[in-house]
Amino acid sequence: MDISDTLAAELRSQFEGLEPDLRFRDEAQAMHACELALQSLLAGTYGVGALVMDDRHRVWAESGNEVLSGRFDSAAHAEMRVFDQLEARENKPPSQTLSLLVTLEPCPMCLSRALYAGIGEIIYLVEDGEGGMAHLRDHLPPALRELAQLCRFRRADVSAPLRELARQLSRAGLQAHREELMHQRAS
Ligand SMILES: [Zn+2]
């Protein structure tokens, strides 16, 4: 089940009308992550986008969510796809020097993956009180909590309209996606 055409058109035109405010240091990359999120949403899955960048803002891997856009793949969160891509690369900087930038606070699976992958920093645009794990990282098992000590966490430095767009992208179609997940469980 897809989100309504009206909502899709509205979010697309919001994205297209958004002027990136480059006074914010994460704005350009976050804009790109939102574009990935928008593409995912338009493809019928969750509107979340992620990328891994180095300290010069060079992007080493990027993806949107792909859980419901093709064959059902419960592991295809944007961050998981990004780490798959990154780890498949031959020449890449040490993961400790890289940052994960994601439009929505990572869930427990993706946060654990990021910590196991040894990423240096996790940056997200929008908090996820329902499913996010970054703000609950003190409740991880001890081994992961130790890894989390080696990782920096912060909210993305972006303009208010861009953060609002990321929030809307992450919420659009949630009901339809939930029904699709329930359908997967039953089939
Ligand atoms: Zn996730």
What CATH code is carried by the domain that includes residue 28?
3.40.140.10
Per-residue pLDDT tens over the stretch 46-59: 999 999 999 999 99
The answer to whether residue 132 is domain-embedded is no
The answer to whether residue 101 is domain-embedded is yes
Tell me what pLDDT residue 25 has: 96
Q: How far is the CA of 110 from the centre of ligand 1 (A)?
A: 4
Mean pLDDT to the nearest integer, 120-147: 97
Q: E strands along the chain, which residues?
A: 49-53, 59-64, 99-104, 121-126, 152-155
Q: How far is the CA of 9 from the centre of ligand 1 (A)?
A: 26
**What is the 8-class DSSP label of residue 62?**
E
Q: How far is the CA of 187 from the centre of ligand 1 (A)?
A: 23
d(CA 105, CA 109): 12
Q: How far is the CA of 170 from the centre of ligand 1 (A)?
A: 12
Q: Which domain holds residue 174?
A: 3-127+139-186
The answer to whether residue 133 is domain-embedded is no
Per-residue pLDDT tens over the stretch 63-93: 999 999 999 999 999 999 999 999 999 999 9
Mean pLDDT to the nearest integer, 5-26: 93
Q: How far is the CA of 22 from the centre of ligand 1 (A)?
A: 28
Tell me what pLDDT residue 2 has: 61
Q: Categorize the per-residue pLDDT at 177 as very low, low, confident or very high, splitting at 50, 70 and 90.
A: confident
Q: How far is the CA of 116 from the centre of ligand 1 (A)?
A: 14
186 contacts 179 by C-beta, under 8 angstroms:
no
Tell me what pLDDT residue 160 has: 98
Q: How far is the CA of 79 from the centre of ligand 1 (A)?
A: 6
The answer to whether residue 91 is domain-embedded is yes
Burial class (CB in 10 A: 0-12, 13-18, 19+), 150: exposed
d(CA 99, CA 96): 8
Q: Quote the percentage of the chain above a pLDDT of 90.
A: 87
Q: Categorize the per-residue pLDDT at 107 as very low, low, confident or very high, splitting at 50, 70 and 90.
A: very high
The answer to whether residue 56 is domain-embedded is yes
Number of domains in the chain: 1
Mean pLDDT to the nearest integer, 23-40: 97
The answer to whether residue 55 is domain-embedded is yes
The answer to whether residue 134 is domain-embedded is no
Q: How far is the CA of 89 from the centre of ligand 1 (A)?
A: 21
Residue 100 has pLDDT above 80, yes or no: yes
**DSSP 3-state helix, strand, coil percentages of the chain (rounded to 5)?**
50, 15, 35
Q: E strands along 56-137, which residues?
A: 59-64, 99-104, 121-126
